[in-house]
Amino acid sequence: MDFEWSEEQNEFREAVLTFARRVLGGDVVARDSAGEFSRDLWRQCAEFGIQGLPFPAQYGGSDADVLTTMLAMEALGVACADQGLLFSIHAHMWSVAMPLLAFGTDAQKDRWMPGLCDGSLIGAHGMSEPDSGSDAYGLRTRADQKGDHWVLNGAKMFVTNAPEADLFVVFATVDPKKRMWGITGFLIERDTPGLSVSPKIAKLGLTTSPMAEVVLEDCAVPAANVLGRIGQGATIFNHSMGWERSCILASTIGGMDRQLETCLAYVKSRRQFNRPIGDFQLVSSRIVDMKVRLETSRLLLYRAAWAQAKGQTPALEAAMAKLYISEAAVQSALDAIQVHGGYGYMKEYQVERDLRDAVGARLYSGTSEIQRLIIARNLGLTPA
């Protein structure tokens, strides 16, 4: 095992840090309070090459390998406090652009991949419904073929990027009796008649990442916009979840790194009883735990990403990474608040936002409970 980055990778990481500090270091407090997504910052990230990092040069991407992409996304989390913006970019890359690259026809990829890579298009992924979340294959959205079109009816809930999205990957069933084998993916453009987006949903955290419900009412989608084959939707969804669970928390780890450095500086400068509070064992123990969680999270992330890069289907590794990192991020955010005491509870110190942003990681891309089920099944257990 080689744990060293190449000189080129380290130089690229420094370039990402410099870019993020210069361009993305604006007033995240105001955007967080207003729940404001910045399309301008999205565009600047795309101009730097973020959205196109792991995608082929023929579509305007950078042909970066997965581990280099993870290094860059982690660096963004270190230097950019706007985790909502970064979460939107991750969702766009792993649940829209990646399945399109893997399962799309040449015509579909030629039509949409360049815009997804250069940031002129924003992607959204619709699987969860008001009555089906963890039971993803219990979805009710129907797709009925009528001539050279498929007509979709149903609703998708908790759709990240929906208020700003230009292209939607939507899953519907062509035959509910077939359960997962009836699920099919569709590529739907925003201006398609019958597709409507609800007002933005207010959230606890990741407030700068827009979310909404998507409603489909007699939405006619050309047969040419079917993603993959009819009935292949479950395979496509599992593919995108593999990428999401392996990669989406890279920026969260970067945020944990930034959080640790903030806490270290605070406990060295904050004095109580005529001593820096970092001298007290109960305080230093929290810092130590934060460091161990950070480094363990990195190892799990890069192990899962490495498996993806090798073309494996690392369901176990991805589930372990998703479970551990999401839980670690929440606990470290709680520790950061505790270390700061009353100041950590105040918005002015920007510590409480890390906790609000971290909580969602235990829910999106499969809850912690679902990750535990996946891990148990991969260990040969069949829990009810």
Q: What is the pLDDT of residues 77-132, one digit of tens each?
A: 999 999 999 999 999 999 999 999 999 999 999 999 999 999 999 999 999 999 87
Q: Is residue 342 in a domain? A: yes
Position 2 scores a pLDDT of 79
> In the beta sheet, which residues pair with residue 1?
none
Query: Catalytic residue positions?
Result: 244
Per-state percent for the chain, helix, strand, coil, to nearest 5: 60, 15, 25
Query: Do 57 and 173 share a domain, yes or no?
Result: no
Q: What is the pLDDT of residues 204-261, one digit of tens each?
A: 999 999 999 999 999 999 999 999 999 999 999 999 999 999 999 999 999 999 999 9
Alpha-carbon separation of residue 179 from 62, 157, 305 (angstroms): 38, 19, 30
First to last CA, the chain: 37
Read off φ and ψ for residue 25, nearest 5 degrees: -95, 20
Q: Is residue 242 in a domain? A: no
Q: Is residue 71 in a domain? A: yes
Query: Do 276 and 344 share a domain, yes or no?
Result: yes
Q: Is residue 219 in a domain? A: yes
Q: Of 106, 122, 138, which residue sits at a domain end?
A: 122
Q: Is residue 240 in a domain? A: no
Position 240 scores a pLDDT of 94
Its pTM stands at 0.96
